[in-house]
Structure 1
Amino acid sequence: MTASFQSLRMPLIMPVAAVITVALFLLMRQLIDIGPVHPVVEADTPDLVIKFEPVETPPDRGRDLIIVDPVAPPPAPPALETASSAVDSVVTMGEYVMPTIARAEISGPGSIVVTERDPAPIVRVEPSYPARAAERRLEGQCTVLFDITPQGRTANVRSLDCTSSLFERASVNAVANWRYNPQVEAGQPVMYRGATTQLVFRLDE
């Protein structure tokens, strides 16, 4: 029975579904239709031309024009004459304390060989007068102790006694540049130790 009922139902449903489909299609078309479209004609607008005209402003009569005369540059300051601050100075060097007698032996005809000789100065550089001492008009002296190498150079130079510490450096630097004939013993140069010299710093009046 059920099968026969379904076979009778299908012919009845199909026309109804077709009618509903056609009705929906017509409704959709009616909703979409907006009528004839008429183009919008734009009104002619005149061309807009903007023209700028400069406006001349009259000069302000309430203000006077001030012309500044050129100013000559100031003259250059006169050159200052720098007074010479150099102070005449005299440095006297005392003799170093050591004998200067050499003993010689005759080794053959016409030749003399020195077998014993004490050091003898060759080059003695005077120290520079310290500027601070000269400014203070300070005079003094300095005793320096040093050794003499077999090559005749001074070594271990140091100050023993100075009347002012201002003279120590100048004295030591000067003696460090002195040169000697070295001491000779048995025909060979040897180190001489304990040589002393005194440097006197005096200003000229």
Structure 2
Amino acid sequence: MKLPKLNILESTKNPSIVVIAIILNIAIFILIQRLVSKEHDFDINLIDRNFLDFTRVIEKPIPPPEKIEDIEPPPEEEDPPPPEMPTPEVERPQQMDIELSTPEIDVPMSMAGEPYLGEFSDGSGNMGGLGRPGKPNIDSNVVPSLRIPPNYPNRALRSGIEGIVTVEFTITTDGSVKDAEIIEAEPPNIFDKSVLRAIAKWKFNPDMVDGQPVEKRARQDIKFTLKK
């Protein structure tokens, strides 16, 4: 089969056809270039999208932050109460029933019903009563303005002891008592302290000489007896 021969020389005789052919070739070339470039861009976009999607899938989720729980401090341990100590039982001493008689303390009185304060010297050295040497200017009729009886000692009460004590003392210018001393006691050292404590609290009206109070010495017998 034989192809027909184109007479190129004949076709070139018309210049408008040549120009149209060139324009068509250029347009086809440009179109082909654009198609190729779009396809290339499309492939790149696909590759990029696939990559992005892939990396998004393989991303590990960020775990939420751990909650920090408030830890309460342990309660303070209270000190244990001290152990209760047993109360020791104290044996009470047995009380002894002692029957005591009521004591009587006899303070001798003078004939006028006043307390008898012993016998005193008359200034000449003569003494009556117990016969002891006396001091001048002693009045035998002294009356106490305040007299406190002595206490009966417990030892004498328990033992049923009776006795008598002779005490000598000085009446001062203000009527108080000083320098008291036991002259005689029967039995000894039983009633002495009780008598001295009582005599020290007695009060007297002092004697006056030329308008001035003076001191004087006195003596007293005190008896301790128990009622039967």
Q: What's the TM-score, normalizing by structure 2?
A: 0.44
| Structure showing greater Rg | 2
- Between the two structures, name the one with larger relative contact order (CA 8 Å, sep ≥ 6): 1
